[in-house]
Every structure is written in structure tokens, then in C-alpha cells.
Amino acid sequence: MARAIRGPRALFLGVDLGTSGVRVAAIDDTGRVRGTIARQWPPGGAMDPGAWNRLTLDLLARLLRRIDRTRVRGLAIDGTSGTVMLCGSCGTPRGLALAYDDDRARDEAARVAAIATASAATGATGGPAKLLWLLAHRFTPARALPQAAFVSGRLTGCYAVCDEHNALKLGAHGQHWLPWLRTLRLTALLPRIVPAGTRIGTLRPALCRRLGLRSPPWVIAGTTDSTAGILALGPLPAGTGVTTLGSTLVLKVVSPVPVELPDMGVYSHRLGNLWLAGGASNSGGRVLRHFFSVGEIERLSARLPCGTPTGLDYYPLLAPGERFPVRDPRLAPRLAPRPADDAVFLQGLMEGLAAIERLGYELLALHGAPFPASVITLGGGARNRAWQTIRAGTLGIPVVSAKGSAAVGAARLAQWGLRGSWRQGRAQGKGLSWALRCGRRTWNK
């Protein structure tokens, strides 16, 4: 059994299985980061379950050589939401996985749509359609798993459990599988759903010896990579918005109630008695990078007259079609007229993105979530002060930038799971908000 957690000497590990590679972080009982290590996927490794496991163990071994491994008490894993694979009863992968954005299962998606109600699990990138495609092209497996659940299984030997967050796009509603999955004969392949932060089991003895661990740490049910990035931010009260300015524009708001708009790709992850509700636009930073290099964006941003609106009414898209906050597969990009001054054009694009952001938060508020009292910004665009000024003016609320390492967020999840804060809070009806308030002093050091 793993040692009991006493005092501030315990260490917790988080593994982030991201789109570009793997990152591992260690934090201590005060929440301070004690070490990180990362490595990019080898060619083809992003969808190779064997590579997921090998790279995870390699980075864990390297990080453990840098910290006091006798203090490690637990670890949690996050993975890309919607990435699924098949394996045998002992965890042997049945071929490669299908990525979160893989839409090859269009025919299978039509079969799903004929019997299913719209949800985060429907569509060509939904878990059920991907599983049907995999079953048609692979040997009969014993288990279908998301990315994080499979690697957790390799660490514990338990392949029968999946966290609630990663199960969502496989067809979960809370801790239950949607009934129409039985019609597709998929239910027998699916694992049991548990809340994120639940103890799955301890690290296998053989792996403990390989990693030089005398006492086996607990492996905690993880989460998705985007949610882990937000958990890394620390205590977030209801009404906090989190905008990720990456290739796409992703909005989340901490809400007391879930928001579900399946046709727009809006869904909610439960965090104790709170919810992280949001969606993603087809617009985002990739539009800016289509017209300007990173260096040009930085140079032009330095001379933007942000206090003077351009009056350009842009809806920045690279191709027709939008999903959130407007659902219109034929929505045309609105990028004209283009001013002669590139700085004015860049400002107009940023204003258009800020308008989409405000419309998104208004839509979430219309369906029950609070309109944010403030917004925390993640992603590459968070460093752009001009864009931040434009967004603050458009939203009419404070906008701050932050860094949210998903590996650190997974480590914090391991810490909460082992402290009992998450589960005790759920039992008392206080949820994650209670756990975060208990840790507020250490988070703000």
C-alpha cells in the first residue's frame, strides 16, 4: 500500500499526454512546482499507444532522478479529449488510436446519428463513431479506452476504469453510459466511469522497481488536457472565465450549473459541485498567423492604436463554417475591406476575435452560466498586450494572462485526490470549490 500523506514533504506527479508530446511535472504539498520534463512525440508516436506508455515511463524515470523519490505519493494523467483506442484484456493495444480530431468515421457517424440524441459523443469525431470504425478494421478487443485511461491502466494493471471527463466524448452522461450505446453493442467494451480524482490503484510492483520507488504511489483518475491546464491555475470561483488563445478560440466558464448545447459543441465537465462549461470557435490565432508571421504580429502590435476602434466588422475565419458561438456550417469569412495599413488590419482581426469571445460568453450566460466577472487568458496569444487591451474593452471586465501547465494541473488533481479533498467535498455537497478554498493560502504563495 502507498504511504499515508503527512506533512508538507509529500510529492505529487502529473503526466500530460498533449498533442505535441509528453510533459511530466512534480509539485510538493504546498503546490510549489519541484520539477518538470518534456519530450516531443517521435514520428507516429502521437497515435501509438505503445509510445504513450514508453515515453511516459521514460520521463517519469528521468524526473524521479531529479527529486526525492521517497516522497512521491501519487500521480494523475491527463490526455487529449476524444482520442480513443482498443486493447485486449491485459492492455495489449489493437493497432493505433484515433486522434481527437480524426473524422474518418463519417459513415459510422451517420449510423450513430440515426439512433442517438445529439451530444458531445456524436459526430465523426465522437467516440462511438470512432469505435465502430476501429471495430471494423481491427481484431475484436476486450476494452475501448480513452488515452489517459489506457496509460493509467498500464501503470496499475486496471483497464476497467475511466474518469468522468474523458468518458464524455465516448458517450457518458455523468457516471453512466448513454442508453443508445447498447443498440450499437458498444457498452460491453466500455469501462466503469468514476469521478476525476478517484484512486484507481497503486503503481505495479514491477514498475516501482524499474523507477526505484520503495513505496508504490497511488494512481489517480485523471482528466482531459484542457481541463488539466485550467486546474493548474488554482482556486477559480464560479463566474471566472478562461479563454485560451491558441490556434482556435476556446472559452470556458466556472458555472454552478452545467450547460449543454450539443449542436454547438458546448458541454460541461463536473468539478465537484461546480461545472466547467464552454465551447470552441473555428476562429482563433491561426487566422492571425495566416496573414502575419509571429514576428510581424509582435512588431505591428507594438504600434496599435487600441483605444481607437477601427470600425471594421470582421468575422475572422479561414474557411466557411462556424460552430460556436454561431452554428452555421455555411458562415462565410468576413475579412473585407482590408486597409492599406497592416497594423489597422491586424487590429481589426483582433477586434473581430474579441467580439466572438464576448458573444460566446453571452451565449453561455443565456443558457444558465454566469457571465464572467473576470477572464484568465491562456495560450500563445495571452502574451500579446494589445490583444488583451482590445479584449478587456470589448468584454468590459478585467482580463489577465496566466500560464496553465496541464502536467501541473494533473499533479494538483493527484494531490486533491489523495488528500480526500475532492471526494470529501463531494460527499459534503461542497465539491471542488471547498477543496480549492482549503488550499487557497498555499496556492497564492
Kindly state whether residues 57 and 193 are assigned to the same domain.
yes
Q: What local confidence, expressed as pLDDT, does residue 432 receive? A: 36
Answer whether residue 114 is part of any domain.
yes
Kindly state whether residues 71 and 168 are assigned to the same domain.
yes
Kindly state whether residues 82 and 173 are assigned to the same domain.
yes
Kindly state whether residues 176 and 47 are assigned to the same domain.
yes
Q: What local confidence, expressed as pLDDT, does residue 305 receive? A: 77
Answer whether residue 161 is part of any domain.
yes
Answer whether residue 304 is part of any domain.
yes
pLDDT digits (tens, 9 = 90+) for 34-50: 999 999 999 988 999 99
Q: What local confidence, expressed as pLDDT, does residue 8 receive? A: 55
pLDDT digits (tens, 9 = 90+) for 341-365: 999 999 999 999 999 999 999 999 9
> What are the residues whose beta carbons fall under 8 Å from the beta carbon of 413, sequence distance 6 or more?
14, 76, 78, 196, 197, 220, 222, 223, 228, 231, 422
Answer whether residue 437 is part of any domain.
yes
Kindly state whether residues 312 and 352 are assigned to the same domain.
yes
Kindly state whether residues 14 and 52 are assigned to the same domain.
yes
Q: What local confidence, expressed as pLDDT, does residue 7 receive? A: 47
Q: What local confidence, expressed as pLDDT, does residue 298 receive? A: 95
Kindly state whether residues 245 and 325 are assigned to the same domain.
yes
Kindly state whether residues 386 and 419 are assigned to the same domain.
no
On whether the CB atoms of residues 267 and 168 are closer than 8 A, the answer is yes
Going residue by residue through the chain (445 aa), what tens digit of pLDDT does each one get?
444 444 457 999 999 999 889 999 999 999 999 999 999 999 988 999 999 999 999 999 999 999 999 999 999 999 999 999 999 989 999 999 999 989 999 999 999 999 998 888 999 999 999 999 999 987 778 899 999 999 999 999 999 999 999 999 999 998 999 999 999 999 999 999 999 999 999 999 999 999 999 999 999 999 999 899 999 998 789 999 999 998 899 999 999 999 999 889 899 999 888 999 999 999 999 999 999 999 999 999 998 877 789 999 999 999 999 999 999 999 999 999 999 999 999 999 999 999 999 999 999 999 999 999 999 999 889 999 999 999 999 999 999 999 889 999 999 999 999 986 544 333 333 333 333 333 322 222 2
On whether the CB atoms of residues 227 and 78 are closer than 8 A, the answer is yes
Number of structural domains in the chain: 2
Query: Of 173, 123, 171, whose CA–CA distance to 144 is shortest?
Result: 171
Question: What CATH number is associated with residue 375?
Answer: 3.30.420.40
- Burial (CB count <10 Å: 0-12, 13-18, 19+), residue 101: exposed
Backbone torsion region of residue 97, taken as left when φ is above 0, otherwise alpha when ψ lies between -120 and 50, otherwise beta: beta
Kindly state whether residues 198 and 85 are assigned to the same domain.
yes
- DSSP assigned state of 51: H
User: Alpha-carbon distance 107 to 296, whole Å?
Assistant: 43
Output the CA torsion sign for 335, 339, 340, 346: negative
Answer whether residue 233 is part of any domain.
no
Kindly state whether residues 183 and 273 are assigned to the same domain.
no
- DSSP assigned state of 40: E
Identity (one letter) of the amino acid at 432? L
Answer whether residue 339 is part of any domain.
yes
Query: Of 75, 78, 77, 80, whose CA–CA distance to 47 is shortest?
Result: 80
On whether the CB atoms of residues 37 and 59 are closer than 8 A, the answer is yes
Answer whether residue 3 is part of any domain.
no
User: Alpha-carbon distance 324 to 366, whole Å?
Assistant: 14
Q: What local confidence, expressed as pLDDT, does residue 421 receive? A: 52
User: Alpha-carbon distance 369 to 355, whole Å?
Assistant: 19
User: Alpha-carbon distance 429 to 417, whole Å?
Assistant: 16
Kindly state whether residues 242 and 292 are assigned to the same domain.
yes
Answer whether residue 1 is part of any domain.
no
Q: Which domain holds residue 51?
A: 8-228+406-443
Query: Of 54, 41, 125, 60, whose CA–CA distance to 93 is shortest?
Result: 54
Query: Of 269, 261, 264, 262, whose CA–CA distance to 236 is shortest?
Result: 269
User: Alpha-carbon distance 230 to 287, whole Å?
Assistant: 24
Cis peptide before 8 (omega within 30 of 0): no
For residues 38-54, one letter each, b for 16 or more C-beta atoms within 10 angstroms of the residue's C-beta and e for the rest, the string is: beebeeebbbbbebbbe
Backbone torsion region of residue 431, taken as left when φ is above 0, otherwise alpha when ψ lies between -120 and 50, otherwise beta: left
- Burial (CB count <10 Å: 0-12, 13-18, 19+), residue 313: exposed
Kindly state whether residues 209 and 329 are assigned to the same domain.
no
